[in-house]
A and B are shown apart, each in its own frame.
Chain A
Amino acid sequence: MAIEKNYYTIDPEGKLQCMKCGVLLEKGKAKFMYLDNGFPVELPVCPVCGFVYVPEELALGKVASVERALEDK
């Protein structure tokens, strides 16, 4: 079995709750997509409804810098 590459992993550590479903978010599989590129990541995801949470630090840090790099490709 091939080892899956994840560009980023964030564990919610039981601190985040999905308001709609009333359950805790879990570390789950997600994907960032931009300008026809995709990046597998592991983010806090609601196991029931599938809400994917992108924390502020990630959005303003890594995500922003990858965006800039892809924009200038």
Chain B
Amino acid sequence: MSQIEERGSTHVYKVNRISKEEIDSMVERCVYEEPPFCNAACPLKLDTRAMLKAAGSGDLKKALQVYEKAAPFPLILSTGCEAPCEAKCRLCEVGDGIDIRNIEKAIARYGQQTRLGSIFRTKKKKTVAIFGSGLFPLFLAGELEKKAYPITVFCEQETLEAFLHCETPFLDTDAFSLELKRLKGKDIQFVFGCTITSSFLEEKRTAFDVLCASGSVFQQLYPEAAFLPELMICEAAQLVTCREEGVMAAAFGAKKAALTVDRLAQNLDPRNMRGSEGACESRLYTDLSEAILLKRIPENGQGYSAEEAVAEAKRCIQCHCEECMKSCAYLRHYKKYPGLLSKEIYNNTQIIMGDHQLNKPMNACSLCGQCTVVCPNGFDMAHVCHIARQNMVSTDKMPLAPHEFALLDLYFSNGDAFLARPQPGFDTCRYVFFPGCQASAIAPETVKAAYLDLCSRLEGGVALMLGCCGAICDWAGRYEMTGRTEEFIDREMSKLGNPIVIAGCPTCAKELKSHEEISVRGIWDVLLELGLPEGGYGLDRPVAVHDSCGARGDAETQKAIRTIAEELGCTVIETPYSGDRSPCCGYGGLTAYANREVAAEMTEQCLKRSEAPYLSYCMACRDRFARQGRESRHILELVYGTDAGSPPDISEKRRNRLTLKNDLLRELWLEEPMEMKLDYQLNYTEEARRLMDERMILTDDVIDVMNFYRETGEAVYDSESGLLIARNRVGNATFWIKFIRESENSYTVHGAYSHRMNVVKRQG
């Protein structure tokens, strides 16, 4: 089989591989959107973090805007509030928490107010009356004014000054005049000098839609009536009111009451749709390891100056959970934390007609599992992306283009380049060496040396299996193909007598372990048991070990690699994010095929951790680091005294696999392999080679086109460039080759390109 069927444009809607509930519970795990601790502790839900951010940047005006959203009279609140937020500030755990209340005071005092009255806003139709004076009526009037209700306050006092002063004796003169100015700026009607009696109140009932009263008016007029504190309502008296009058109690009460008024004004049950009210617990995670132990800016009892407030606000570390973002280049690329990204990716799988804009992000995750380790809640983004891919495949919406090259590579590994043979002289074997498709492609000499070594030192026979474990199609979400690959490998294994697999690659080891019949060991374990062979070498400079995603959670393998490196004489350096926290090199999950940009960012992030040569135990990692020009070795190269040298291009990778197979067939099994010989000569310019590698065009594709050209003579001559251009459709793509015909049987290829669309002549 050498062609994969392209999907059509009529999508079927088959299996849903993940339920809405499952994805919701996964999304739940991510605490990114949880409020910071200070904010959670505030009954008014003041966005403390945003306020401190603005203040810390010196923008007190903006800070005041944030503060005013929670507090219509910020000076009164900041003077009287008990600041439950301060005790919850995370910095308290490592030193002084932020002095939030004093910052708020300064913001209220020095931040200019922007909104000068609200006269120009359209008002709501429903009207509200408030009876009495005190903090609750004041705050409630402020809240309702924000909601644009026409409000009338009926109070005993004769002036606005007296109304404001009666409950705020704690304000100093400056603060008092500021708040008075603020009050005057608000669109609230006052009727002064009222004597509030039952009949007075009842009289107004016809003129207003909702009636509210201060706690003392309520007590006086309805001493026996029941009061519902969650709703701030006395249902018997049909009055929105309060019980306590402390600053925070009044402010929080006014918030709840304003919501009740809002619902009543719309003739809705005030019990419903209230959302979360009051202080709550936060599940947010904040890394305090880099929080600097700084002391509070002292306050001398007069309050902070504007500068002092800015300096104190600057100390806020802006609590956020960023563990995954810090460590994963993919998440940083898309600038979305996993909770949100998962939701969007899930929705992407649910679209039947229309653009699947999340295809690219969904296919760019390397399924490496690093996030699950670094996330304090174990968020498993790999699972989400993997399932989403499977879902797209099962509903026939998954484009083939991002993964086709890799999938065809698997067909090649398990087809033309596949080899399964018992050790010469054995019918079945106790072991089988499974180096992995990348090892044969990148370091064939090393594979050969390792196989010969294992054969010579292990009892019971060591078979050899050159092929792909199936990780490629599994990563692509092609579950049916994965099933077929598993069956294929199982069949081949049973022919060899179901030997114990000695895997040369941690990802193969992991993949093969999932087969019921197969037991797997890593070659690193076997080598430590047997002792290292002669001829190995260490590097004379310290090496940075890069742990493979395949070995995540496998401390023994990670340790074995380090032990081998040290036995060889290497000095091992540990980099940040090593062991289970290791990032992916960019190959995993087929990122390198589906999204080269993200893959490059992943490689770069890996290499940033150290300047030293990199030592890995997965050939794909070795290859990607070497491609970036870093000295990069696979542990087996050192063990067997080999050096795979500079990284091969995509065509050389295929040829290496074939050559290794054929060489071994000849040398060990004395079989003459079938080799395709071209009856003409093909040369490539350097530029052509470069373009082919970049455009993922294989020499095999070129040969397909040239064979077709020689058969049919179909080509175009471009008089401008002097080149001939021939084409052939191979599988799902059309390949175009630009060349010069040197002689009847010799051509030089100058360029190559391809497209997936099919082109035909149109009649009429």
Contact = CB atoms under 8 A, between A and B. Distances in A.
B714 A31 contact: no
Contacts of B401: 67-68, 71
Interface in B676-727: 712-720, 724-725, 727
A69 B718 CA distance: 31
A54 B756 contact: no
B314 interface: no
B736 A59 contact: yes
A19 B714 CA distance: 6
Contact of A72 (B10, B356, B712, B714): B356
A30 B718 contact: no
A20 B713 contact: yes
Interface in A20-73: 20, 25, 28-37, 40, 43-45, 49-54, 56, 59-60, 63-64, 66-68, 70-73
B760 A51 contact: no
Contacts of A68: 401
Contacts of B354: 73
Interface in B13-35: none
B6 interface: yes
A29 B6 CA distance: 26
A68 B10 CA distance: 17
A59 to B, nearest CB: 4
A68 B736 CA distance: 19
A17 B9 contact: no
Given A19-B713, A19-B716, A31-B762, A73 B355 contact: yes
Contact of B761 (A52, A63, A64): A52
Contacts of B413: none
Interface residues of A, number: 39
B356 A34 contact: no
B718 A15 contact: yes
A7 B9 CA distance: 20
A53 B714 contact: no
Contacts of B716: 16-19, 25, 44, 51, 53
Q: Range of interface residues on chain B?
A: 35 or more
Contact of A31 (B712, B755, B760): B760
Contact of B755 (A17, A54, A71): A54
| Most A C-beta atoms less than 10 A away, residue of B716, B738, B756, B760 | B716
B762 A30 contact: yes
A35 B400 CA distance: 11
Nearest to B10: A36
Given A35-B6, A35-B8, A56 B762 contact: no
B638 to A, nearest CB: 42
A6 to B, nearest CB: 10
A73 B356 contact: yes
B39 interface: no
Contact of A63 (B7, B718, B757): B757
A50 B355 contact: no
Given A54-B736, A56-B736, A32 B751 contact: no
B216 interface: no
A48 to B, nearest CB: 12
B359 A71 contact: yes
B758 interface: yes
B356 A59 contact: no
B535 interface: no
Point out which of B401, B757, B763 has the most chain A C-beta atoms below 10 A from its C-beta. B757
Interface string B725-764: 1010000001010100000000000010111111111111
A61 B338 CA distance: 33
Contacts of B719: 15-17
Given A67-B756, A71-B359, A71-B399, A20 B714 contact: yes
B720 A36 contact: no
A16 B763 CA distance: 21
B357 interface: yes
A58 to B, nearest CB: 8
A34 to B, nearest CB: 4
Nearest to B401: A71
Contacts of B360: 72
Contacts of B738: 56
B756 A34 contact: yes
A20 B727 CA distance: 13
Contact of B760 (A52, A64, A70, A73): A52
B759 A37 contact: no
B717 A33 contact: no
Nearest to A59: B755
Nearest to A67: B756
A30 B760 contact: yes
B720 A54 contact: no
Contacts of A60: 753, 755
Contacts of A51: 714, 716
Nearest to B402: A71
Interface string B339-371: 000000000000001111101100000000000
B9 A15 contact: no
A49 B762 CA distance: 13
B761 A50 contact: yes
Contacts of A16: 716-719
B9 A45 contact: no
B233 to A, nearest CB: 53
Contacts of A54: 727, 734, 736, 755, 759
Nearest to B695: A60
A9 to B, nearest CB: 13
Contacts of B355: 72-73
For A44, A67, A73, the residue with the greatest tally of chain B CB atoms inside 10 Å of its CB is A73
A49 to B, nearest CB: 7
Interface in B309-335: none
Nearest to A69: B355
A30 B761 contact: yes
Nearest to A56: B753
A63 B760 CA distance: 14
Interface string B525-536: 000000000000
A49 B714 contact: yes
A43 B759 contact: yes
A28 to B, nearest CB: 7
B717 A17 contact: yes
Contacts of A73: 9, 353-356
B9 A33 contact: no
A29 B760 CA distance: 9
A64 B763 CA distance: 25
Contact of A19 (B8, B715, B751): B715
A67 B761 contact: no
Nearest to A18: B716
A19 B9 CA distance: 36
Nearest to B11: A73
Contacts of B754: 59
Given A17-B719, A71-B399, A35 B758 contact: no
A20 B713 CA distance: 6
Given A30-B762, A35-B7, A51-B716, 14 more contacts: A16-B716, A19-B714, A19-B716, A19-B717, A28-B761, A34-B757, A35-B6, A36-B9, A44-B716, A60-B755, A63-B755, A63-B757, A71-B359, A73-B354
- Which 7 pairs, one residue from A and one from B, show the smallest C-beta to C-beta distance? A71-B399, A36-B9, A29-B762, A34-B757, A59-B755, A19-B715, A32-B757
10 contacts: A15-B719, A19-B717, A28-B761, A29-B761, A31-B759, A32-B758, A36-B8, A67-B757, A72-B356, A73-B356
